[in-house]
Amino acid sequence: MLKTLRLSFSLKNTYRVNGILHSLKQIPLLGRLLPAALYQVRGLKIFANVLSILWEFVSIFLFKCIYFLTMVCGLGVLCRSAPSQLTFLHILLFLTLIGSYMNTSLFDPTRDKYYAMILMRMNARSYTLVNYGYALLKTVVGFLPFTILFGLDRGVPLWLCLMIPFCVAGAKLTVAAYSLRDYEKNGYVRNENKLQKFAWLLTGVLLALAYIPPAVGVVLPLEISAVLWLVWIPAGIVSLRRVVTFRYYREINQELLAQMFIQMDTVKKAAKTASEKAISADASITSRKKGFEYLNELFIKRHRKILWKSTTRIAGICAILSGGVLLLMLLSPGTKADINQMVMTWLPYFAFIMYMINRGTSFTQALFMNCDHSLLTYSFYKQPGFVLKLFQIRLREIMKINAVPALVIGVGLSLILYVSGGTDNPLNYVVLLVSVLAMSLFFSIHYLTVYFLLQPYTAGTEMKSGTYRIVMILTYAACYALMNLRLPILVFGAACIAFCVLYSIVACILVYKFAPKTFRLRT
């Protein structure tokens, strides 16, 4: 028993540690400093081991904490009409029922299990039982502090707080035992990641039972609640016997993990088919153009679904929202002053909105997956003149795509500004419209430039550039930070326009200088 536990831990730990070392190697600069033989370096190994153990603790407590803060207490706050003690027990009970079949650990096809039981041929029964026991222990230990902390705070009796973690484990055990019996009888192997329709329906019903009655002030009385909780303890004890004596763990796991193995193999294929699905099969699509314009027109037309449909939808939503605000001001003129104030100072906020709605990432991704991924393997495609020609054409296209919602937002904002009382300086209208357009131009150029300069994918469509990831994160962080900025339209607008224009010029120069060399498949 102990040996199995030790072995399965060291196996899990080994690949976790290697995983950590591998991701360290992906970080630019740092990766270059690390030796190729980093998997041998003792110091690094110890460091990664510490991280790995920390992660184990985090996984015991942190997720439970988040679970209590959001699902149980967070949403529970909405149900103020019922006593908080009963609401807490009520919601937690129904969520536990859902967890008992959605989060079993026994029927979760994981990599650890695959490595241990299939590749290493460990004894399936003892491996499963030891790890299942450990998972249940983690559940109890992880739940205990939070049931006490949050439970006592809401006036749940201490004895019940102490019992609840065991009830949760009991519920899980009962469902596990039932599923094992189902296998013995019908040969059906459950996979908790592939629930059947019935299970989804049940989840919907249980979720509704968890939140709707408390929201309208109806909760289970303490006695009934306590009984419904405690019943899982004897049920769990009875089930434990079945789980321990069950004889077909190898069969079950082999079937469960066989599906998983196929999945691992097909993840890449799935990404490929997903991007191929975006290609329109409409045979009437043709083009009369020539050369790269021909290629581009066919690409845009056959990818209309992911490029233009979503951008027109976003533009439509923006139009409706602007219309809504205009209507609000007409119906209750008292809001005008506030809205005017907002529009005058909230322009930086729109940097983030423009970030969210721009189609840059999906455009470059589709470009790579369905077009450049293959064409970059042909040398004619990589001739410097052609790379630049392609950049021009694509920049034009992505600018068009992003400009539609930007135009709607710009016009909408100007209208809102006008209706809400206007401004002393008519230049504000112009700056408003132009700066929103400039932002859309910025995002168009930004994504395409980064794509042409860093081209992060390999021929196997694997993302391989740490720098690319970091640039993406920085873009997000910068836009997010701008949200907290409150500046008058003229100040921010002028700065924004200047920045966007400058950036665009620099970006184009960089592309012209470097893209013919950098626009390649990663190896």
Partner 1 sequence: MRFIIEHLSKRFEQKEVLKDIDFTFQEGKIYGLLGRNGAGKTTLFNCLNRDIKADGGAFFLEENGVGREVAAEDIGYVLSTPTVPEFLTGREFLKFFLDINGSSIENPKSLDEYFDMMSIMPEDRDKLLKDYSHGMKNKMQMLINIIAQPKILLLDEPLTSLDVVVAEEMKQLLRSLKEGRITIFSTHIMDLALDLCDEIVLLSHGELEVVEKSNLDNQEFKEKIIAALKEETYA
* Footprint of partner 1 (CB under 8 A): 35-37, 276, 279, 281, 283, 290-292, 294-295, 298-299, 302-303, 370-371, 373-375, 377-380, 382-383, 386, 459, 520-521, 523
Beta carbon nearer to partner 1, 32 or 185:
32
CB-CB contact of 219 with 90 (8 Å): yes
Nearer to partner 1, 23 or 286 (CB): 286
Q: Give CA separation, 368 vs 507, 508, 521, in Å.
A: 20, 20, 10
Residue 123 CB partners (closer than 8 Å, separation 6+) = 4
Min separation Cβ 518 and partner 1, Å: 11
The smaller minimum CB distance to partner 1, of residues 181 and 513, is found at 513
User: Which residue, 90 or 359, has its beta carbon nearer to partner 1?
Assistant: 359
Nearest distance, CB of residue 26 and partner 1, angstroms: 15
Query: Distance (Å, rounded) from C-alpha 42 to C-alpha 305?
Result: 52
- Locate all alpha helices (DSSP H) within 103-155, ordered by sequence: 111-113, 124-153
Shorter beta-carbon distance to partner 1: residue 45 or 301: 301
Distance in Å, CB of 399 to partner 1, minimum:
21
Question: CB of residue 512 vs partner 1: minimum separation in angstroms?
Answer: 17
- Measure the CA–CA gap between 135 and 383, rounded to whole angstroms: 57
Chain Cα centroid distance, residue 417: 36
Task: Judge residue 326's burial from the number of C-beta atoms within 10 Å of its C-beta, 0-12 exposed, 13-18 middle, 19 or more buried.
Answer: middle
CB of 362 to partner 1, least distance (A): 15
- Rounded distance, CA 514 to CA 327, Å? 50
Residue 266 or 377: the one with the smaller Cβ distance to partner 1 is 377
Between 129 and 369, name the residue whose CB sits nearer to partner 1.
Answer: 369
Q: How far apart are CB 502 and partner 1 at their closest, in Å?
A: 31
Within 13 Å of residue 475, how many CA atoms lie on the same side as its CB? 21
Q: What is the 3-state secondary structure (H, E, C) of 260-317?
A: HHHHHHHHHHHHHHHHHHCCCCCCCCCCCCCHHHHHHHHHHHHCHHHHHHHHHHHHHH
Q: Minimum distance from CB of 33 to partner 1 (Å)? A: 11
The C-alpha atoms of residue 71 and residue 211 are separated, in whole angstroms, by 10
